[in-house]
Amino acid sequence: MTSQSKNNRLLPLTVIEAAAGGDVEAINAVLKHYAGYIARLSMRELYDEYGNPHLCVYEVLRRRLETKLITKLLTFRVR
């Protein structure tokens, strides 16, 4: 992976600063950026009535992780 493609995955500092300042659009941009990661952390193996396992996003956990991210964003101080 080249240095250029790694930088494309980073959030711009202006978005982080705006999110830390409470800008709703910037907070949504941060949530969108981390949506896949949060979904992956929220995956749980559930079983149907026949005992077959299924991977599903546990919505309660996903919302808790999003809320925690927003809380930390709003207390984040950019130097």
Q: What is the pLDDT of residues 11-67, one digit of tens each?
A: 999 999 999 999 999 999 999 999 999 999 999 999 999 999 999 999 999 999 999
- Distance separating alpha carbons of residues 60 and 12, to the nearest angstrom: 29
- Distance separating alpha carbons of residues 12 and 1, to the nearest angstrom: 20
Of 10, 15, 12, 41, residue with least CA distance to 28:
15
Q: Is the pLDDT score of 7 beyond 80? A: no
What are the two backbone dihedrals, phi and then psi, of residue 31, each rounded to the nearest 5 degrees?
A: -60, -40
Structure tokens at 63: 């919302």
Structure tokens at 16: 């982080």
Q: How much is the pTM?
A: 0.79
Q: Is the pLDDT score of 79 beyond 80? A: no
Three-state DSSP class for residue 8: helix
